[in-house]
Every structure is written in structure tokens, then in C-alpha cells.
Amino acid sequence: SAVISQKPSRDICQRGTSLTIQCQVDSQVTMMFWYRQQPGQSLTLIATANQGSEATYESGFVIDKFPISRPNLTFSTLTVSNMSPEDSSIYLCSVKGGGVNEQFFGPGTRLTVL
């Protein structure tokens, strides 16, 4: 299985600021996704990070709020912009591909917005 790392692992931010989360995979993968998990809740897909093109966002998530980059097959970033306390969540990078159908998760970034 792919080894996925995320930076930062946690952060406390002030309202109105932005945070960029990095996701690095140790091997090339076909697909990279970003999920959000609010406290005590399930995993909600934010977007699919597409290499070399704009990300595909799910209903309720927009590019201005959650810009995503994917410059190559092993790296992606998610920015949470103009943060409010409602953005306090765990943000998870997830990957699929490389010949297998399983989907794996990174360790997550725990974000608290004050």
C-alpha cells in the first residue's frame, strides 16, 4: 500500500486566515482526493485533485474556498481559505490507483479555527 504523509499534522489558526495542507505519496498514484471529517462525523469528499488541470469539486465545496493543486502524480495541496470556526475539522488526503482498487488515507490534518 502507498505511504502517505501530510503536513502539518495539526494547526490552530485565526479566523480570516488561510492554511495550506500538503499531501505527499511515496509512489505515483492515479487518483488523489481530499476529504473532510467534522468531529464525530463521517468522511465527506471535498474534491478530486486532477493532475495538470482544475480539481473536481463536490456539491457544497467551491474552488475559491478550497483551492487545490496537483502538480504531479505524488503531491497535492489543499488550501482552506478565509477560515471560520466552522472549518474546524480533520482534513484527509486519500489516494487510489497504481494497479489496485483500494483507497488509502493519509494521517490527516487536524485544524482548529478560533
Partner 1 sequence: QQPVQSPQAVILREGEDAVINCSSSKALYSVHWYRQKHGEAPVFLMILLKGGEQMRHEKISASFNEKKQQSSLYLTASQLSYSGTYFCGTEKSSGNTPLVFGKGTRLSVIA
Q: Which residues bind partner 1 (CB under 8 A)?
A: 1, 30-31, 33, 41-45, 48, 92, 94, 96-97, 101-108
Report which DSSP code applies to 58: P
- Take residue 87 and report the three cell numbers written for it: 472549518
Give the list of residues 6+ apart from residue 109 with CB closer than 8 angstroms, or none. Answer: 6, 7, 8, 9, 10, 11, 21, 90, 91, 92
Least Å from the CB of residue 30 to partner 1: 5
Could you tell me the smallest distance in angstroms from the CB atom of residue 3 to partner 1? Answer: 12
14 vs 39, beta carbon nearer partner 1: 39
The grid coordinates listed for 65 are 474556498
Q: Shortest distance, CB of residue 25 to partner 1, whole angstroms?
A: 14
Which is closer to partner 1, CB of 14 or CB of 42? 42
